[in-house]
Amino acid sequence: MKSTADFLKMKGSGDKIVMMTAYDFPTANMAEEAGVDIILVGDSLGMVVLGYDSTVPVTEEDMIHHGKAVRRGAKNTFLTVDMPFASYHGSTDRTLETGARIFRETGADALKLEGAGVVSDAIRTLVAAGMPVVAHLGLLPQSAGVLGGYKVQGKSAEAANRLLEEAKEVEAAGACMLVLECIPHQLAQRVSEMVAIPVIGIGAGAGTDGQVLVFHDLAGYGSHRVPKFVRQFADAGTEAQRGIQGYARAVRNGEFPSQEHQFTMKEEEAGKLYG
């Protein structure tokens, strides 16, 4: 398994870091098999797997339940788990208890938190207790209501410079990595040059140290809304739909199950059945 030290080296040598989300055992298996560097159990779980409209309803229990399944499926891949909505903005005690529970019970290698400011204090708290933290700036889905929707962030020089300051702040707070979501590529590249920690982009252009995509988006699986910045690398949903339609058709026309899919008892035994 690669470590945070390996990711730092990759940044130094320009080897791109590959991160993707997973929420269950088989997907984690496939990611590990493909040599993905980092698996993220994102709270995008709420939208792509649980059918919510946002990440807000996702709970600590949800993150632990799915985090454990992913860990079982990828024992040798660096695992990051999102802390859910509003679970790290209150007291230090609550942040520490929630973070430690998710970290311990899922066997995660790092936790991910959205934002700076008060969240930088949370980063400091968790890191001081021994938990690596991945920061997340730019579009913050947990704060979509406050941001006025799912929009590109940091488009003006003023907003962009504010984000640069936040990036330096979360780095100083001890974050081991930074995810940048949905910002102009020029800004993402500048941030990547200005901080020493690896920067992973999503909708942030090619100038970052690595990329992250949501599994369901890259695999073309599901009926959720897919953002403009996604490239769909497979069409798993169409394949699965074909399978379901074929199954329903075959049951209805008596084609399934056929002889090869059934069990047989000896005729002499079958002859003794009642009636």
Which residues sit in the known binding site for Mg(2+)? 43, 82, 114
Question: What sign does the dihedral 154-158-161-165 (CA atoms) show?
Answer: negative
Choosing from 158, 181, 260, 268, which is the catalytic residue?
Answer: 181
Taking a C-beta distance cutoff of 8 angstroms, is the pair 141, 163 a contact? Answer: no
Which of positions 214-243 make contact with ligand KIV (CB under 6 A)? 214
188 binds, among ligand KIV, Na ion, none (CB under 5 to 8 A by kind): none
Assign 3-class secondary structure to 60-91.
Answer: HHHHHHHHHHHHHHCCCCEEEEECCCCCCCCC
In whole angstroms, the minimum distance from the beta carbon of 214 to ligand KIV comes to 5
214 binds, among Na ion, ligand KIV, none (CB under 5 to 8 A by kind): ligand KIV
Per-position x/- string for 168-207, each x denoting binding to ligand KIV as judged by CB under 6 A, each - no binding: -----------x-x--------------------x-----
- The residue (of 32 and 43) whose beta carbon lies closer to Na ion is 43
Retrieve residue 120's tokens.
Answer: 């930088």
Residue 222, helix vs strand vs coil:
coil
> Is residue 82 close enough to count as binding ligand KIV by CB under 6 A?
yes
Residue 197's closest CA among 214, 221, 172? Answer: 172
Give dist(CA 159, CA 272) in Å, integer: 82
Q: Partners of 177 in the beta sheet? A: 134
Query: DSSP states of 145-188 as a string?
Result: HHHTSS-----SHHHHHHHHHHHHHHHHTT-SEEEEES--HHHH
> Is residue 43 close enough to count as binding ligand KIV by CB under 6 A?
yes
> Is residue 42 close enough to count as binding ligand KIV by CB under 6 A?
yes
In whole angstroms, the minimum distance from the beta carbon of 42 to ligand KIV comes to 2
Told to judge if 181 belongs to the known catalytic residues of this protein, a careful annotator would answer yes
Ranked by CB distance to ligand KIV, the top (closest) residue is 42
Give dist(CA 61, CA 63) in Å, integer: 5
202 binds, among Na ion, ligand KIV, none (CB under 5 to 8 A by kind): ligand KIV
Pick the binder of Na ion from 62, 82, 166, 171 (CB under 5 A).
Answer: 82
In whole angstroms, the minimum distance from the beta carbon of 10 to Na ion comes to 22
Pick the binder of Na ion from 42, 184, 210, 222 (CB under 5 A).
Answer: 42
Dihedral, 73, 75, 76, 82 alpha carbons, nearest 10: 80
- Piece in contact with ligand KIV (CB under 6 A), picked from 25-33, 38-46, 168-176, 182-190: 38-46
In whole angstroms, the minimum distance from the beta carbon of 244 to Na ion comes to 29
46 binds, among ligand KIV, Na ion, none (CB under 5 to 8 A by kind): none
Taking a C-beta distance cutoff of 8 angstroms, is the pair 43, 142 a contact? Answer: yes
Numbered residues of the known binding site: 43-44, 82, 112, 114
Taking a C-beta distance cutoff of 8 angstroms, is the pair 24, 214 a contact? Answer: no
DSSP 142: G
List active site positions. Answer: 181
List residues binding ligand KIV (CB under 6 A). 21, 40, 42-44, 82, 179, 181, 202, 212, 214
